[in-house]
A and B are shown apart, each in its own frame.
Chain A
Amino acid sequence: MSVRKSATASVRHLAALASTTARPTTERERERRRIAVLCLPFFALAIVAGFVPLAMLVRISLAEDTIWMAGWSLEAWETLATTPTYRRVAWNTLWFVGLATAVSVALGVAVAHVLEKYDLPAKRVVVAAVSFPIALPGIIVAYLIVVLLGRQGLVTNAVAVATGGAPLDLASATAITGLFLGYVYSLLPRATMVLRGTYAEINTQAEEAAHTLGASRWQTFYHVTLPEIRPGIVAAVILTFRSGLAIFGTVLILQSHRVVTLQIHEETSVGSYSPDVAAAIGLVYVAFIVAFTFVGLRFVDNDAVEI
């Protein structure tokens, strides 16, 4: 009885809200209508281009017949749960992206620190160099890795000349190390961007105070600077890890390590076409990204996360 009453009350409340939003009389109600109008276009696109396709993925993963979208079946999910290959793909992805994230964020701290604290002669060049790659798609990054480490690559040839080995044996672009460097190439600029933002907001007076109290540079960094940039590091880790999970072009060209995006690609390719499994992997993948993001955001101020 009381449940029904409270349900009626909340329906009535919603109806009142809707009617005041449609015909506002107070400034607060007019404001609510404006917010609705402002958010409407974004949500229209997000629903049409985002939520509906995601719902479709759910349907595909549960379909018995994926061509006509008929029938219901848990087969794809069973395959996903029981085949060891998929567990290996998941593990491959997590350690690889995790390691690339750790290296990128560590280097990002170094770059941001140097840019903020040191008086470099070529500061603008460094800034340009670390922000330029953000605009590069994965396939171009793969090509750049080939330029460095391929059979004709710069590093390959330099090492060959130095050690007298054959470039063909030394080429590592299509080895896992080449792919790893490709990931770092994509992720490092993003990590640096977030960390530079954090560094810019550091209270330098606290650092100066630490110096005057006799702390060495490293002590100052460890006790004063590091706690201040910790939110930035967390934000950079969240962002970099997310971006790393989404890398596809680089791994499509270099092919040296089976991560989740490559697996999804294979499931949708002509030879091994199984869209229901692809959809199931995709859903797990999206669910993981969403969960990771929201758990991560609990540790950090929302505004600290930029792309």
Chain B
Amino acid sequence: MSDVTLESLTKTYGDETAVDGIDLTIRDGEILGVVGPSGCGKTTTLRTIAGFETPTQGRVLFDEVDVTHVPPEERNVGLVFQSYALFDTMTVRENVAFGLKMQGVPKAERRERADDLLAMLDIAELADRRPTTLSGGQQQRVGLARALAIEPHVLLLDEPMTGLDAELKRRLRDEIGDLLADLEVTTLYVTHDQEEAMAMCDRIAVLSDGTLEQVGPPAEIYRRPATPFVANFIGSSTLLEGVAENGHVDLGFTELPVDAETDGAVRVAARPAAFELDEGQIAADVTDVTYLGDRTQLAATLPDDTTVTLHADGIDGYRVGDSIPLSIDEQRVHVLEAG
């Protein structure tokens, strides 16, 4: 296990820039999630670490060793795909032992280590089956065992849970998260599902258009988004325009007692939970009501014509056109630099 460092990584295909100058370190033993909309460069980043893409500029370092030009088969990287890509011509045990066979590990030892891993992933009884006879969840466990068998410098997971049903996904997420944490494998976890990333990862990197927007622990990314993009991509936020002055932000229709680093024009990112339906000072007009079962989602227009999303408990009989009194919880807003 080791650190993986990307130094101003850039990858272009013809005129298109897939990854644009990313600096990122995956720390020894951590699970780093990479999230972003499709086409943001997260898969290219993963493939570059694996060695299937050579960066146009920049370097890839494993523990300070430059591996930019080392071919994939000499990198010792574990790879797990969404589509499993198991070897159908081999048994489950042979699949798991394949990497060890390539390393020249003697047969008896290969078998023993493969069986240990299968036991660890709770699929020991499948060792002699063919991959085609397994369910999706079982195949994914085999894929993970196969990648872990070579004791990789870094484990790369490319949307491994996509395609599984929600219940199985939740169970696997918890199990695999615990397992990877126990094994202290350095892991890069690419996903478009931010909830999955929040649940499994030690830190999350948010990518957009080939650039790195923010890296940090899940709570920090959620509470203190660095850019409007992150504020919107991780959970939903409403961006409010305001002016910061002496520890206050003046939104025009109300003032919030929050700190901003500099005075002047700022944007305030507010989560739905920041808007409280009480006898507050702000009068908002309801423009849309969506009943969601345990709660009701409202869209409402603030006095400055910004539309906000907020949640109300149960069916409280809101109608479009109602005027509702709101207040903003200053604990749940975050001030961004004016963009």
Contacts and interface: CB of A to CB of B under 8 A. Distances in A.
Do chains A and B directly touch (beta carbons under 8 Å) in the complex? Answer: yes
Interface size class of B (residues with CB under 8 A): under 10
Contacts, number: 12
Contacts of A26: 54, 69
A80 B51 CA distance: 60
A119 interface: no
B23 interface: no
Interface on chain B toward A: helix, strand, loop, or mixed SS? loop
Contact of A25 (B51, B52, B53, B69): B69
Contacts of A27: 51-54, 71-72
Contacts of A113: none
Interface on chain A toward B: helix, strand, loop, or mixed SS? helix
Nearest to B56: A26
Interface of B: 51-54, 69, 71-72
Interface size class of A (residues with CB under 8 A): under 10
Nearest to B52: A27
Contacts of A30: 71
Contacts of A25: 54, 69
A28 B53 CA distance: 7
Most chain B Cβ neighbours within 10 Å, of A25, A27, A28:
A27
Contacts of A28: 54
A73 B176 CA distance: 80
A103 to B, nearest CB: 44
Contacts of B52: 27
Contacts of B69: 25-26
A181 B53 CA distance: 57
12 contacts: A25-B54, A25-B69, A26-B54, A26-B69, A27-B51, A27-B52, A27-B53, A27-B54, A27-B71, A27-B72, A28-B54, A30-B71
Nearest to A29: B54
Nearest to A25: B69
A30 B53 CA distance: 11
B47 to A, nearest CB: 9
A31 to B, nearest CB: 9
A25 B69 CA distance: 6
